[in-house]
Structure 1
Amino acid sequence: MFGRLRALFVSNDDGVSAQRRLQLAAAAVLAEAASLDGQVDEVEQRRITELLARHFQLSQAEAQDLLAEASVLAQQSVQLVGFARTIKDGFEASERIELIEMLWDVAYADGHLHEYEANLVRRIAGLIHVPDQDAGAARKRVMARLGIQ
């Protein structure tokens, strides 16, 4: 099981395209963010699916399948470093900032920011080299969009 995870995010010869690796890594950290408060509700799942569909230009069905696969990977993984490395190496700086904005969006999806969710977003921002200023601005954009003070 862990060998498959490692191969997915380290090896390039396992038949998984670089784009799919990025999609899975992004979806896995979003799934992890949604699960940190102890439950993943329908609102959070729907929000992640919408974000994935928009960001990666996927159909709703493709985004749902991606989320399902990434959720399994996130549950099987003991750490997020592999996912973060894939994102850091594969996304441009603006895409990494957009991912942080997506994470804030998921964290606020249920109307309540849990301290574990906030901590995860900050950790991921550091791992994928998004400066605090950019991560904070991403948070403010999400809060403004959702009407949160």
Structure 2
Amino acid sequence: MFDAITKLFSAKKKADMPNLEPKLCVAALLVHLSAVDGESSDEEKEVIKKTLQSYYGLDPHEVKDLFKLATEQNSEAVDLYAFTSVLNQLEVEEKHAIINMMWQVVFVDQHNHELEDNMVWRVAELIGVSARERTMLRAEVRHAAKIK
């Protein structure tokens, strides 16, 4: 009986979680990050699109579609797990690139809100990027953005 109940809940959980590809997960996390401080600026949206376009080699139409889909996925998500569980399977270099992209979104407005910082910390932990690596990536992006 317990096995049947376990199978029922496991099957439902798997059916509720769509098969997400990594670039959609990254885009959804970036969309979420841009709004975590209560407002999503045009600057943040543009840096998300440019970053995705550059990293994934997308054309402007593909970026627009990805951004729209990511916005939808973000609004439907109850937590970050659906996204981070996919990203946790990636290589270390890709994980670092994701955290780097997140810091680019954070620093585009020359300000680091504590909620943004907290979200990057949480995502880094969930995908296996150490505190040291996260901090080094933060310093690199902050230096490149010429923030004191």
TM superposition score normalised by structure 2: 0.87
- Structure 1 alignment gaps of length 5 or more: 10-20
Q: How many residues align?
A: 136
**Rg larger in structure:** 2
User: Equivalents in 1 of 2:128, 2:104: separation in Å?
Assistant: 19
2:5 is matched with none
What is the DSSP-based 3-state SS (H/G/I as helix, E as strand, rest coil) of the residue aligned with 1:7? coil
The aligned residue for residue 99 of structure 1 is: 98
- Looking at structure 2, the residues matched to 6 and 26 of structure 1 have their Cα atoms a distance apart, in angstroms, of 16
Contact map agreement 1:5 1:77 (CA 8 A) in 2: no
The 4+ residue runs of structure 1 with deviation greater than 4 A are 2-5
In the alignment, the residues of structure 2 paired with residue 105 and residue 4 of structure 1 have an alpha-carbon distance, to the nearest angstrom, of: 34
Q: Residues 109 and 92 (structure 1 numbering): CA distance in 2 closer, same or farther, change over 3 Å? A: same
Within a 5 Å distance, the mapping from 1:48-127 to structure 2 comes to: 48-89=48-89, 91-127=90-126
CA contact (8 A) 1:33 1:117 kept: yes
2:26 is matched with 26
SS of equivalent residue, structure 2 residue 108: coil
TM-score normalised per structure 1: 0.86
* Amino acid in the other structure paired with 1:119: N
Residue 2 of structure 2 is aligned to residue 7 of structure 1:
no
Q: Percent identity?
A: 28
The code of the aligned residue for 1:107 comes to V
CA RMSD in angstroms comes to: 1.5
2:113 alignment partner AA: H
The 8 Å contact of residues 43 and 109 in structure 1, kept in 2 or not, is answered as yes
Distance 1:100 1:125 in 2: 7
Q: Is the 8 A contact 1:34 1:44 kept in 2?
A: yes
Aligned partner of residue 8 in structure 1, secondary structure: coil
- 1:6-46 deviation line (CA, Å, top 9, x unaligned): 1234xxxxxxxxxxx11110001111110101111110000
Letter of the structure 1 residue corresponding to residue 142 of structure 2? M
Which residue number corresponds to residue 14 of structure 1? none
Letter in 2 for 1:75: S
Aligned amino acid, residue 99 of structure 1: I
